[in-house]
Amino acid sequence: MAEPTTLDELDVKILRLLNADARKSYRDIAKATDASISTVSSRVRKLEDLGVITGYVPVLNEARLGYDVLAVVGVKIHKGKLLEVQRRIAKDDRVTHVYDVTGEWDSIVVVRLKNTRELDAFIKRLGSMEYVENTYTQVVLNVVKEERRVLL
């Protein structure tokens, strides 16, 4: 794991503002933080260089795009083949998360699909992958909270 980066109060304020709206202008951030635009610009660049900020993406409404099925899949993987299998699973664009976990399952996979036919095909393909021993699927019925931002 990477060592945590030490942030000062201004860094945290900038990150909170970008977290709320990554399209916020440096001028607006400067105004909100009582800093100059050049200071904000250099701080953001520093945070990017340090790997604290790794990119900027829009937050999309998956349901409005037709992805109505969200599933969480536990996967048991043959000993010694964990990383190899996880990397193959991660190549599927519909897979949003692949976690290496403790407990009964070796890996947890989160996948977004358009319908249950796609889910059926995905689970069958996953279960037939070499070194996958077993899967356990849970379909998410409702999302109560899904926070995509790091809370500072």
Q: What secondary structure, in 3-state letters, does the chain show?
A: CCCCCCCCHHHHHHHHHHHHCCCCCHHHHHHHHCCCHHHHHHHHHHHHHCCCCCCCCCCCCCHHHCCCEEEEEEEEECCCCHHHHHHHHHCCCCEEEEEECCCCCCEEEEEEECCHHHHHHHHHHHHCCCCEEEEEEEECCCCCCCCCCCCC
For the stretch 30-63, pLDDT in tens is 999 999 999 999 999 999 999 999 999 888 888 8
Give the CA angle between residues 93, 96, 97 to the nearest 5°: 130
Percent of the chain at pLDDT above 90?
86
Q: What CATH class has 9-49?
A: mainly alpha
Q: Quick one: pLDDT at residue 135?
A: 97
pTM for the structure as a whole: 0.82
Answer yes or no: is pLDDT of 149 > 90. Answer: no
- Span(s) in the chain for CATH 3.30.70.920: 63-139
Cβ burial of 151 (10 Å; 0-12, 13-18, 19+) is exposed
HSE-up (13 A, CA, CB side) for residue 22: 11
- Span(s) in the chain for CATH 1.10.10.10: 9-49
For the stretch 56-91, pLDDT in tens is 988 888 889 999 999 999 999 998 999 999 999 999
Q: What is the greatest pairwise CA distance in the chain?
A: 57
CATH code given to domain 63-139: 3.30.70.920
